[in-house]
Structure 1
Amino acid sequence: MLNTGIIAWIGAIFIAAGLVKGVVGMGLPTVAMGLLAVTMPPTEAAALLLIPSLVTNLWQLFTGPSFGGLCKRLWTMMAGIMLGTVAGAGVLTGAHAGAASAGLGAALVLYAVLGLLKLGFITPARHEALMSPLVGVATGLVTGATGVFVIPAVPYLQSLRLEREDLIQALGLSFTISTAALAIGLFRTGALASPTAQLTGSILALLPALAGMFIGQALRQKMSVETFRKVFFAGLLVLGVYLVLETAL
């Protein structure tokens, strides 16, 4: 049974994680996983964030302007994410999870620095048919190893040069599929030792996550495109540094 202090700590974590997600369109699993690890094992943290992650991603997905078009455009990437995550979910509980998290953090730092320096890349439309499923599978394998959904999905989606709200919606689509696939993978590997109790805790964590996301979305609407771009890449940089330092320390 969790004491009042731990419950308050978990609530504060999900408010902060929801706020980050509301502003930059991602970050809830990364922030929540990192901070929850202070009080519980990674598999328990992953189980706790399933419902907040799923619901906030669905909210992000269905409030955007281009749901049908993005699904048609990115369906092979989503299929790859599902296959890769379910196949690799066992790594999260294995001996190499720490090294995988550090590698993910380093990749995020590199990509964020390139973005802040405006040295990003563009994926030509003629290459999407080949790249989308490959990026999806790679993203799924990384999700299975770390519980975090951002690499290489985020750089790839950003390279498609989508409009700001389309990019946010595409991220919501990718993260929704990743969350659902991670839940299936954790269940298949037996990581959900007490599914009913863990899902109940996850449902209770939903309210603070939604509150934080609502505030973050309101802040995002007031930003210029250039400010959003800087916040987007700065958020990636902070998340990457955090993952590297968490593993090193």
Structure 2
Amino acid sequence: MTEAILVAMLAFLLGGILKGAIGAGTPVIVIPLMSIYFDVPFAVAVFALPALVSNLWQGWSFRRHLSDRSFVLRLVVAAGIGALLGTLLLAALPSHWLSITVGLLALFYVGFRMAKPDWALNYAFARSLAVPAGLLAGILQGAAGISAPISVTYLHAMQLPRERFIPTISALFAAMALIQLPSLIGVGIMSWQILWLSLLACVPLFLGMPIGAALVRRFGAKAFDRTIMVLLLVIAVMLIAESV
């Protein structure tokens, strides 16, 4: 249990730094890093409560910038349904398959961000994709704990300004976590021990967020983003190597 606490604290501190810097991306760090030491269901369960609390707080902080609420509503409802379906897959699939999936998703995310940093979608067209994008993001979040290849890429491609991007993606992640948390209890993955660890993990997550914001102001978003991509690449390769 001591090792679990130390790994979780480090993972959530790094995830909080990333979230404070760009407003998203915590599971991209937390899930692969914890999955190296434990299985994916454990990592996903520990992440559920911090995801809910941090995104509710961040979304509330930026609530005045949340516009186009009909789009956000369709996105979050679809994501919630997807999170339920994904949690059922999490409970049914073999752990090593899930670990490989997490690693591959992380690699895809890094590769796509490097190859297409300026990829964009027409806003009207992107808006029409709210339901399928939300549903697929929810399934990935529920089954593997990482929706960034869909959620972050999709919303980033809409070229939303930072003050709109943060409450929109916070609402998306909060909706998925709100459904995922009771679903994990229902399928027997979430235990009291994991729930207490999940609650404890909120501390380093919130401590890391102002650090990330300060680092971006000091070094710039691009330098910080590249550092995170290198770290994520190493984590993903290690996770896949230990799962095959």
1:207 aligns with 2:203: yes
Aligned twin of 2:38: 40
| Superposed CA offset, 1:140-171 (max 9, x none) | 11112211121211111112111122212222
CA 1:229/1:70 → structure 2, altered by over 3 Å: closer, same or farther? Answer: farther
TM-score (norm 2): 0.84
Which one of the candidate residues 218, 226, 230 is aligned to 2:214? 218
The offset of 1:100, in angstroms, is: 2.4
RMSD: 2.6
The offset of 1:138, in angstroms, is: 0.9
- State how 1:126-141 maps to structure 2 within 5 Å: 127-141=125-139
Q: Aligned AA for 1:246? A: L
CA 1:162/1:68 → structure 2, altered by over 3 Å: closer, same or farther? Answer: closer
Contact 2:35 2:99 in 1 (8 A): no
- State how 1:68-79 maps to structure 2 within 5 Å: 68-79=66-77
Aligned pair count reads 239
Contact 1:80 1:137 in 2 (8 A): yes
Aligned twin of 1:17: 15
Is there any run of 5+ residues in structure 1 with no aligned partner, and where?
A: none
Among the aligned pairs, what percent are the same residue? 23
| Superposed CA offset, 1:50-79 (max 9, x none) | 222222212221222545425433211111
TM-score (norm 1): 0.83
Contact 2:49 2:181 in 1 (8 A): no
CA 1:168/1:137 → structure 2, altered by over 3 Å: closer, same or farther? Answer: same
The offset of 1:229, in angstroms, is: 5.1
The offset of 1:244, in angstroms, is: 4.5
Contact 2:40 2:98 in 1 (8 A): no
Aligned twin of 1:155: 153
Aligned twin of 2:123: 124
Looking at structure 2, the residues matched to 9 and 103 of structure 1 have their Cα atoms a distance apart, in angstroms, of: 21
| Superposed CA offset, 1:97-141 (max 9, x none) | 13422431232123211344x3x122331x245301010111111
Q: Which moved more, 1:180-189 or 1:81-90?
A: 180-189
Q: Which moved more, 1:12-21 or 1:236-245?
A: 236-245
Q: Aligned AA for 1:103? A: L
Relative to its length, the structure with more helix (as a share) is 2
Looking at structure 2, the residues matched to 235 and 174 of structure 1 have their Cα atoms a distance apart, in angstroms, of: 22
The offset of 1:215, in angstroms, is: 1.6
Q: Aligned AA for 2:115? A: L
